[in-house]
Chains A and B, each alone.
Chain A
Amino acid sequence: MTTATLSACPACSAAPSAEDIAARAMPKPARLTLSLPTIHCAACISAVEKALAAVPGVNDARVNLTLKRAQVDAGPAVTASDLIAALADVGYEAHELDPGSAAVTATDRAGRDLLMRLAVAGFASMNVMLLSVSVWSGAVDATRDLFHWISAFITFPAIAFSARPFFRSAYTALSAHRLNMDVPITLAILLALVTSLWETALSGEHAYFDAALTLTFFLLAGRYLDHRTRAIARSAAEELTALEVPRAWKLVNGAETATPVADLSIGDLIRIRPGARMPVDGVVTEGTSETDRSFLTGESLPVPVAPGQPVSAGEVNLTGPLTLRATAVGQDTALHRMADLVAIAESGRSRYTPLADRAAKLYAPGVHILSALAFLGWLAWSHDLRTALNIAAAVLIITCPCALGLAVPAVTTAASGRLFRKGMLVKHETALERLAQVDTVVFDKTGTLTSGAPVPTNLDAHDPATLSQVLAVAEGSSHPLSRALTTALRARGVAPAPVTDLREQPGYGTTAILEGKSLRLGRASWVGAEETATTTAWLSAEGEAPRPLTFTDALRPGAAEAVAGLKAMGLRVILISGDTPAAVAPLARQLGIDDWTASALPGDKAGRIADLQARGAQVLMVGDGLNDTAALRAATVSISPASALDAARVASDIVLLGTDLSPLPGALRTARKATRRIRENFRIATAYNVIAVPLAIAGLATPLIAALAMSTSSIVVSLNALRLK
């Protein structure tokens, strides 16, 4: 009974529920997965692996540079925080990934499946092409028939295996009475096989086995590229979601127990340590503190809380430990209800029709009608079913959207790769096309244009003695304002005054005694000063008037460059914030944004965007909080920083991995270039059809011409996509 020793109390160890809880709290000998956003080279790999292997209890550690992750196989005593500390010592940032999320451990099955089909199609088409070349270069009679039969024997099983994704997708589309790109593909492949088999049986001259296989091969290559781009983006996005390991401290008989958030229920007492995020909605039963609601409302000022006051999931506890009684958990929390509301709203991305679909809508019926007309025309003219069917097959094969299938994925792969290297993750497949249309950019303030960390602004207004008193008192607290003061004053080389009795009063401030007089650093109401509009902490020495220390929210790095760059591109830049006008106005002035709105409710933000869209604007929304989520969904395209709340990251199309905002204008330029390349590719594919289709209808297309035309157009389209770099 090793678990009994871990149980909350010896007496209740017999109760199975207590044992369960204890067992869950005990770390299991498992594989830990760490996210390593900063690794990039061979030296990083060996440094990280050596550092991890040096931690006692670690059996094995392996870095995956492509995914920027490390898999660690360790004994039960090793926790992720040990490993993260060990990596921090050698200078690498690391985050624990939630082992419960399947994406962290599972390999990419769909990608492997496509690659396998691609390999089979490649193998078969090489062999069949070899035989076809012999036929084209003059094999006749029995030799030609033999080659055709061998080709048929290779082609049928190969197609049955490789082309299954197209068959399945075409079947799904047809059963829903729709047409997609896979319908003409499937029809072309099947018709090519049937006519070729018929020709072979009748010792005919032309067989299209090689065309059917190369077609499958090229299309699978396009499919695989497309999948890989999205799989990389998806795994990294899931990684971000997995960053918040869902664990809370539940009070069981007065003792704190680590419990997965999913297992909390209404009425549970939960201890929230300073710096932690509320996992549930609840009422404070014990402790006073301040909470940061900026994620929920955009307010940059902390809000004081005391026993009896309600708090909602997602708020961050700042100063003192709090005990909550849960009133709503999991899906019922205010946080989730807000996220659900967002999910119902119609999103910008669902209103957009991708370029590829638009092309397919024109293309698929056109090709079918053309092929059917060719068939009927030749049947009426020659009264020969065999010739007519051969011509119809040739038309379908020649027009088959090889180049069209590659046109979009080749470009998006190149563009997404480029943006990934700049620190942007493209999550949605049409995000680039939508980004290219943008003419208006809407920014959120707190956490997006600003880093959400306060910076003191009026230190110069105070004399050195005051500053050293401030530093001495501020060091007694981990409140964000105190920490900001400590950092700024230490950087100035201020020495702390020799204070005693340093105590923090959670929710109010910090007190200390200096030379027999009491010093207070804290809220206006607590030190007896007037409330002001700007973020202010007050220092009051006994018998003296309180002195204000004002703060501003620091700009995120690159914010000024991003706004200037976007304006230089001729875009309209708007700032909509949930914060007070007093906090928004100076920032808007500093960044040169004339069009700003303060005190906006979440609904106002989405409403303003809908209003802009109704007037014909294509809006890019950049935001991070839950109050931005509806706006992120409603906008044509949306970007959120990696520090954003889960719900915001899920709602957005592109995630900014670094803290720097300056890649934004570059991303817009890349997106515009990419869309231009996609359109060019469509034009190339169309031009090729304009030349090839009359040949096929006239009955002049041979399998050799089909093979040449198909390969040339596919290669031209791929090369055009590569020009993006």
Chain B
Amino acid sequence: MDVLTWLIPISLFLGGIGLLGFLYTLRSDQYEDPTGDSQRILSADWDDRPRP
């Protein structure tokens, strides 16, 4: 059962990365225009990132 002392912190850490990633996308306005983003992928225009 010693392996648990490694596995539990690792699983929490990985999950935490996911959570931080989501919070980053939320803070950088990536959910402001979901409909537009799904359409923009079809156009050939260079599109850097959503501007605030």
Contact = CB atoms under 8 A, between A and B. Distances in A.
A71 B22 CA distance: 25
B23 A116 contact: yes
B5 to A, nearest CB: 9
Contacts of B18: 123
A65 B1 CA distance: 53
A201 interface: no
A86 interface: no
Interface string B30-45: 0111111001111101
Contacts of B33: 64-67
B11 A45 contact: no
A143 B23 CA distance: 32
B36 A123 contact: no
Interface string A27-62: 000000000000001110110010000000000101
Interface in B16-34: 16, 18-19, 22-23, 26, 29, 31-34
A41 B39 contact: yes
B26 A112 contact: yes
Contact of A60 (B12, B22, B31, B51): B51
> What bracket does the count of chain B residues touching chain A fall in?
20 to 34
A109 to B, nearest CB: 12
Nearest to B19: A123
A45 B31 contact: no
Nearest to B12: A127
B26 A115 contact: yes
A493 to B, nearest CB: 43
Interface in A118-139: 119-120, 123, 126-127, 130-131
Contacts of A143: 1, 4
A131 B31 CA distance: 31
A168 B15 CA distance: 28
A705 to B, nearest CB: 25
A150 interface: yes
Contacts of A154: 12
Majority secondary structure, B binding face: helix
B36 A45 contact: yes
Given A42-B39, A45-B40, A45-B43, A119 B51 contact: no
B36 A64 contact: yes
A120 B36 contact: no
A66 B32 contact: yes
Nearest to B27: A112
A127 B14 CA distance: 10
Nearest to B29: A107
Interface of A: 41-43, 45-46, 49, 60, 62-67, 71, 107, 112, 115-116, 119-120, 123, 126-127, 130-131, 143, 146, 150, 154
A107 B35 contact: no
Given A66-B35, A107-B29, 4 more contacts: A42-B43, A46-B43, A66-B34, A154-B12
A115 B24 CA distance: 12
A67 B33 CA distance: 7
B19 A120 contact: yes
The 3 A-B residue pairs with the shortest CB-CB distance in the complex, in nearest-first order = A65-B36, A42-B39, A42-B42
A46 B46 CA distance: 10
A119 B19 CA distance: 7
Nearest to B34: A66
A320 B45 CA distance: 48
Interface of B: 1, 4, 8, 11-12, 15-16, 18-19, 22-23, 26, 29, 31-36, 39-43, 45, 50-51
A151 B26 CA distance: 26
11 contacts: A46-B45, A49-B45, A65-B33, A65-B35, A66-B35, A112-B26, A119-B19, A119-B22, A120-B19, A123-B19, A127-B15
Majority secondary structure, A binding face: helix
Contact of A119 (B4, B23, B35): B23
Contacts of A46: 43, 45
A46 B45 CA distance: 8
A150 B39 contact: no
B11 to A, nearest CB: 7
Nearest to A143: B1
B51 A62 contact: yes
Contacts of A146: 4
A116 to B, nearest CB: 6
Contacts of A112: 26
A94 to B, nearest CB: 16
Nearest to A142: B1
Contacts of B50: 62
B15 A150 contact: no
Contacts of B42: 42
B32 A64 contact: yes
Contacts of A49: 45
A107 B51 CA distance: 13
A43 B42 CA distance: 9
Contacts of B31: 115
A46 B1 CA distance: 58
Contacts of A41: 39
A127 B39 CA distance: 35
Nearest to A71: B51
Contacts of B51: 60, 62, 71
Contact of A42 (B11, B26, B29, B40): B40
Contacts of A131: 8
Contacts of B39: 41-42, 45, 65
A67 to B, nearest CB: 7
Nearest to A131: B8
Contacts of A127: 11-12, 15
Nearest to A123: B19
A291 B11 CA distance: 73
A685 B45 CA distance: 49
A63 B51 CA distance: 10
B13 to A, nearest CB: 11
Given A112-B26, A116-B23, A130-B11, A43 B43 contact: yes
Contact of A126 (B15, B43, B45): B15
A115 to B, nearest CB: 6
B49 to A, nearest CB: 11
Contacts of A120: 19
Nearest to A73: B51
B35 to A, nearest CB: 4
B1 to A, nearest CB: 6
Contacts of B43: 42-43, 45-46
B4 A116 contact: no
A66 B19 contact: no
A132 B29 CA distance: 35
A107 B23 CA distance: 16
A143 B7 CA distance: 13
A577 to B, nearest CB: 40
A62 B33 CA distance: 11
Contacts of B1: 143
A119 B26 contact: yes
Contacts of A115: 26, 31
B26 A107 contact: no
Contacts of B45: 46, 49
